[in-house]
Amino acid sequence: MNREGDFKCLERLEEPVERVNNNDLQTLRTKDVEKRVLLWFEIKENLGKYEDRECGSFYGDVHRKTMAGFYMALLKLAATFSMNEERFAEAEKLFSRAEIELVQSLEKYNSFQIKSNQDIAREIRRGDISHYMHEMGESLDKIQNDPEIKLPVRDGICQSLKRWLEVLETGVLELMKQPGEIGRIFKEAKAGETPKQVMQFYGDVVMVKSKIGGVGSDQGGSINTYGDVVMVKSEIGGAGADQVSMSRRCPECKREAEKDDKFCPECGTRL
């Protein structure tokens, strides 16, 4: 009979995992290769202990998160060997070139970890980071459905994207709740794209989060913000409002739909 999972035991197994996952690749690659090799074998050994249920049995989200953490730590170490052109057969055997390139590509988003909500809000308003959402949206389906990428790696990537998306969403809400901000961005947009960029950006955040199961209770905030924008648009009497489409995107095929549409005009998905 399986015994219940011991979280204290699991924390001990995950200590080297956290040491790796709490660092970016550029920091990790500067560590001595001998130390990284020792970390690799320590993590592999602890993964074996976890799979042998030395800490008892874990299920559901706890198990998925734990496996993702182990594999992401190993993948990050494998990426450092590749970046430094250090031959390490164990890493080359476990991970494909595509998986290593995937974790390297995530490094472009790690600056979100050190930015405040106000920093994110300013960058969204200027349009400096809107391209990140398009990149995430385009790559997410491929990551989730690619059988060549190990399932724990896919899980780990999606968990990372979810954390960054939450930071971006908070930045949008920070922007929208500033006194007079919604009205100001509409008024300033008589010859520009600012409000369209902001609302499209927020819509993209919600859409991509929904793909990885990250919307949940946050949907209420999305609806409230949308309602505020509609209200402000009517109050300012069309100052720039005719340039702003209040349409939405279908979460399945990404076709634009009008705000009153209940179903996607392209694929029929309920909106």
- Delimit the domains of the chain by residue range: 7-95, 103-257
Token output for 239: 């100052």
On whether the pTM is more than 0.75, the answer is no
Please determine, for residue 189, whether its predicted confidence score (pLDDT) is greater than 50.
no
Q: How far apart are CA 7 and CA 128, in angstroms?
A: 42
pLDDT at residue 47 is higher than 50 = yes
Q: What is the pLDDT of residue 77?
A: 98
- What is the overall mean pLDDT for the chain? 76
Residue of 90 and 257 predicted with greater confidence:
90
- pLDDT, tens digit, 9 for 90 and up, residues 77-121: 999 999 999 999 999 999 999 999 999 988 887 887 788 877 877
Average pLDDT over residues 60-64: 93
Of residues 225 and 200, more confidence is placed in: 200
pLDDT of residue 245: 42
Residue range 136-155: mean pLDDT, rounded: 82
Confidence check: pLDDT of 12 > 90: yes
Q: What is the 3-state secondary structure (H, E, C) of 175-243?
A: HHHCCCHHHHHHHCCCCCCHHHHHHHHHHHHHHHHHHCCCCHHHHHHHHHHHHHHHHHHHHCCCCCHHH
Output the six-digit token pair for 100: 């290593």
